[in-house]
C-alpha cells in the first residue's frame, strides 16, 4: 500500500442514522470521500484518525432563525413589560445605545454557544432602522468573517418595528443589501400598513435578487392571517421556494378545515415555515395564564404535507426569550414534548433541524454522503432515539473537514 495518506481525516467506528452497523468516514479536501463499513475494514492510511467509539454521527445542525444582535441582553434588561409588544419596546429603548463592539461581544457569546452545541449553519435576523442604524449589521458581518472556520452565517436584515410607519428604515435596508446582507426579512404585524409592507419587501427582494424570511402571524387569533398575502406575492413574483415565514402561531389555533386549507396553500406557493418553540411558548397566551394553549405551529404536520419546515432557536437570553443555550437538539426535543411525539417521531424532529432546515436555507451538498461537505458532529449517544430523547451533547465537530471543537468525556469519580 502507498505511504501517501488516503484521507486527511478518518473518523473510525461511527454510527449513522438508520443503520446500527459501524462505519469509518474518510474525509479529503474538506469533503466526505468515502464511507467504509467497519466489517469490511482494510488497512487505511489517514493523516489524522478520530475514534467515534460507536457514537452517532450527524450532519451539523442548521438553525434557520436566530437574533444574534439582541441576544444576551438580560444583564441590562430584566423584563420586557410582558408579551410581544413589551419585548419589542424594551429592545427598542436599548438598541439606540447599541455599539458595534457591544453587539459583536454578545453575538460572539451566542454563536460560540451554538457552535459547541453542534450548529454549523445559521440564519440570523438583524434589525435595521433609524434607532440602531447599521451598527448591528456591521457587527454581525464581522462575526460572519471571524467564525467562518466553524459556522456558515447568513445575514437577514429586517425592519422589526415596521417599514411604512418608520421613515428612514427603507433606505437603511437598501444600504445593508448593497453592503452584503444575504437576504431580507419583514415584520408586517408591527407596521401601520401590513399589506404595503409586504409588497414593498417583495419588491426590494426582487430588485436585489435575495430570498425572503418574514416574521408572521405571531398571535393566536385565527380570524385573520397574512399567509394568503404572502403566498399570493410569492407566486406573482416567481419567488416560490425563496420565501420563509417564522412563528405563524395562528396555525396552532385554527380549526381543522382552516388548517388544511392554509397548509395546502403554503405547499402550492412554495412558502416554508419555521416554528420557534421557546419564544412562541413564552410570549403567546399570556391572557390565559396557566390555562394557555400551546401556541406553536405544528411544523411536523406541515412537513408531512409537502411544506418545507424547520425548528429554530429565535431569541436567547433577552426579553423575547429569557432562556436558551443554543442547543437545537434541546429545541427539537421541547417541540416533540409539546406535540406529544414519541420515539416514532424522533427522526422527523431531527430532520427539522438538519435536512429539512438545510433545504429551507437552500444549502447545497448537505448531509453525510460522498462528495458532500464534511460538516459533521459526533453525539454522545449510540443511536438517534437515545440522542434525541436524552438531548445528548455534541462530543466533537468537524467543519469542512477541520476539527472545530471537542468536549472532554464525562467521568464519574
Q: What length is written for the chain?
A: 413
Confidence of residue 226 (pLDDT cuts 50, 70, 90): very high
Cα–Cα nearest to 119, from 380, 354, 281: 354
Q: Are 389 and 381 in contact (CB under 8 A)?
A: no
HSE-up of residue 288 (Cα within 13 Å, Cβ side): 13
pTM of the model: 0.96
What values do phi and psi take at 327, rounded to 5?
-85, 110
pLDDT for residue 410: 76
HSE-up of residue 182 (Cα within 13 Å, Cβ side): 17
pLDDT for residue 3: 57
Q: Are 234 and 265 in contact (CB under 8 A)?
A: no
Q: Are 120 and 397 in contact (CB under 8 A)?
A: yes
The per-residue pLDDT of the chain, averaged, comes to 95
pLDDT for residue 1: 47
What are the tens digits of pLDDT across the range 71-83? 999 866 665 557 8
pLDDT for residue 289: 85
Read off the pLDDT of each residue in 377-385 and give the average, rounded to a whole number: 97
Amino acid at each position: 500500500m502507498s505511504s501517501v495518506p488516503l484521507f486527511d481525516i478518518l473518523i473510525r467506528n461511527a454510527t449513522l442514522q438508520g443503520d446500527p452497523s459501524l462505519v469509518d468516514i474518510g474525509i479529503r479536501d474538506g469533503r466526505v470521500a468515502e464511507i467504509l463499513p467497519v466489517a469490511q475494514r482494510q488497512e487505511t492510511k489517514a493523516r489524522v484518525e478520530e475514534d467515534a467509539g460507536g457514537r452517532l454521527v450527524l450532519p451539523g445542525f442548521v438553525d434557520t432563525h436566530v437574533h444574534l444582535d439582541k441576544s444576551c441582553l438580560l444583564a441590562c434588561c430584566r423584563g420586557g413589560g410582558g408579551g410581544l409588544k413589551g419585548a419589542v419596546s424594551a429592545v427598542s429603548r436599548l438598541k439606540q445605545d447599541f455599539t458595534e463592539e457591544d453587539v459583536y461581544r454578545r453575538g460572539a457569546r451566542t454563536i460560540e454557544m451554538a457552535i459547541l452545541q453542534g450548529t454549523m449553519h445559521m440564519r440570523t435576523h438583524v434589525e435595521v432602522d433609524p434607532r440602531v442604524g447599521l451598527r448591528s449589521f456591521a457587527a454581525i458581518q464581522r462575526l460572519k468573517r471571524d467564525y467562518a472556520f466553524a459556522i456558515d452565517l447568513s445575514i437577514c436584515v429586517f425592519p422589526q418595528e415596521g417599514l411604512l410607519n418608520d421613515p428612514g428604515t427603507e433606505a437603511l435596508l437598501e444600504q445593508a443589501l448593497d453592503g452584503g446582507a444575504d437576504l431580507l426579512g419583514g415584520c408586517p404585524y408591527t407596521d401601520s400598513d401590513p399589506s404595503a409592507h409586504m409588497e414593498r419587501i417583495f419588491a426590494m427582494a426582487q430588485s436585489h435578487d435575495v430570498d425572503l424570511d418574514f416574521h408572521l402571524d405571531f398571535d393566536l387569533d385565527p380570524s385573520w392571517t397574512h399567509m394568503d398575502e404572502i403566498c399570493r406575492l410569492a407566486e406573482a413574483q416567481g419567488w416560490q421556494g425563496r420565501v420563509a415565514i417564522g412563528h405563524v402561531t395562528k396555525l396552532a389555533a385554527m380549526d381543522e378545515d382552516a388548517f388544511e386549507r392554509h397548509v395546502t396553500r403554503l405547499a402550492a406557493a412554495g412558502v416554508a415555515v419555521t416554528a420557534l418553540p421557546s419564544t412562541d411558548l413564552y410570549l403567546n397566551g399570556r391572557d390565559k395564564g396557566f390555562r394557555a394553549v400551546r401556541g406553536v405551529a405544528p411544523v411536523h404536520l406541515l412537513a408531512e404535507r409537502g411544506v418545507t419546515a424547520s425548528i429554530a432557536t429565535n431569541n436567547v437570553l433577552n426579553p423575547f426569550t429569557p432562556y436558551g443555550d443554543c442547543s437545537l437538539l434541546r429545541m427539537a426535543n421541547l417541540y416533540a414534548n409539546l406535540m406529544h411525539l414519541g420515539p416514532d417521531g424522533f427522526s422527523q424532529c431531527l430532520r427539522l433541524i438538519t435536512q429539512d432546515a438545510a433545504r429551507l436555507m437552500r444549502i447545497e451538498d448537505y448531509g453525510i454522503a460522498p462528495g458532500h461537505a464534511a460538516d459533521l458532529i459526533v453525539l454522545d449517544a449510540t443511536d438517534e432515539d437515545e440522542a434525541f430523547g436524552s438531548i445528548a451533547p455534541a462530543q466533537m465537530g468537524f467543519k469542512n473537514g477541520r476539527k472545530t471543537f471537542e468536549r472532554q468525556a464525562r467521568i464519574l469519580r
